[in-house]
Amino acid sequence: MAMTTGEKWFQGFAVVLSASLSLAMIYPFIHMISISLSTPAEALRPGIHLYPRELTLDAYQKALTSNGMWYGFQNTIFRTVVGTFLSLVFMSMAAYPLSKKDLPDRNFFMMFIIMTMFFSGGLIPTYLLVKNLGLFDSRWVYVIPVLFNTFSLIILRNFFMEIPSELEDSAKIDGANDIRTLFSIVIPLSKPILATVGLWSAVMHWNAWFDALIYVQDQSKVVLQVFIRRLIVENQDLEIMKMMDDQKSLNAETVKAAVLMVATLPILLLYPFLQKYFIQGILVGSLKG
């Protein structure tokens, strides 16, 4: 399609503008990757860092051998894998009955669940509840209190409702009960939606930090995000900010950058999937919302 001169100018303007915006958005990440791979002396050089001029993996070695980092990594992987898996199992179990129109008292059960989107006991009552349940300083505090997500549950239920009942009937004729039918017929048919909901859950778990901050004191059970927070955010008051600027202890900057990269890398690796499934998710959500 031929463009007029005015159109060409306009396209040029739009391209330059959005290119500079995306550059501004991605620069912090490039900077961080570059610093994490640089020698301490190079890392301290002010100005733009697009690539490491003096390449070294020292910072990663230092980061990955520190105890806190290691514990954090293990616990984060535990909650991401186990938490996501159990969420999918338990949410499918609940979504399946709710997808059946003839389920007795279905509307009541739905209300019971949906109502929780509109209120909460608040931080303090929830905190005391978790304490009374004996979940403090346990890895299960990362899994059990976030086992269900109402939005995901409803998305799952809506998907199950679309599955033709003939497919389930054939299993029933063979003598399977509802539980068998769910696990042998319905769940295998629902892989796309389970992938979507599973990725939401996995990203939530990977990024979660507040529950670990308030419920867990034991340093060997803390998650990666909290380790990063302790390292970078919590020593960030004005006093230290000024001090760090004057006399930066050498390795600190590169190690911090390496730690941040370790937390970012899995997200980058999964990025193509994340984009696809998350976008589907908000478009589905917007239709319902």
Partner 1 sequence: MATDRIATKGRQLIQTHFRNRIAAYVKYKYMILLLLPGLIWYGVFFYAPLYGIQLAFKDFRIMDGITGSPWIGLDNFRTIFRASSDFSTILKNTVLISFYHILFGFPAPIILALLFNEIRFKVFKRITQTISYLPHFLSWVVLSGLLITILSPSSGIVNELIKALGFEPIYFLGDQRYFRFTLVISAIWKEVGWGTIIYLAALASVNPHLYEAAVVDGAGRWKQTWHITLPMIMPTIAIMFILRIGGILDAGFDQILNLYNPVVYEVADIIDTYIYRVGIGQLQYGITTAIGLFKNAIAITLVLGTNYIVKKLGQEGLI
Q: Would you count residue 173 as binding partner 1 (CB under 8 A)?
A: no
The window from 8-16, 57-65, 162-170, 189-197 that contacts partner 1 (CB under 8 A) reads 8-16
Number of residues that bind partner 1 (CB under 8 A): 99
The window from 57-65, 114-122, 163-171, 189-197 that contacts partner 1 (CB under 8 A) reads 114-122
Q: Would you count residue 216 as binding partner 1 (CB under 8 A)?
A: no
Q: Which of 41, 167, 179, 243 binds partner 1 (CB under 8 A)?
A: 179
The window from 63-71, 161-169, 187-195, 280-288 that contacts partner 1 (CB under 8 A) reads 280-288
Is the separation of the CB atoms in 53 and 204 below 8 Å? no
Nearest distance in Å: CB 67, partner 1: 19
Q: Would you count residue 57 as binding partner 1 (CB under 8 A)?
A: no
CA distances from 192 to 36, 155, 156 (A): 37, 12, 10
How many angstroms separate the CA atoms of 208 and 179, rounded? 32
What the block records as the tokens of 104 is 């007795």
Exposure class string for 86-103: b at 16+ Cβ within 10 A, else e: bbbeebbebbbebbeeee
The window from 62-70, 144-152, 160-168, 187-195 that contacts partner 1 (CB under 8 A) reads 144-152
- Of 33 and 193, nearer to partner 1 (C-beta) is 33
Nearest distance in Å: CB 5, partner 1: 13
DSSP 116: G
Is the separation of the CB atoms in 238 and 246 below 8 Å? no
Torsion of CA 258, 261, 266, 269, to 10 degrees: -120
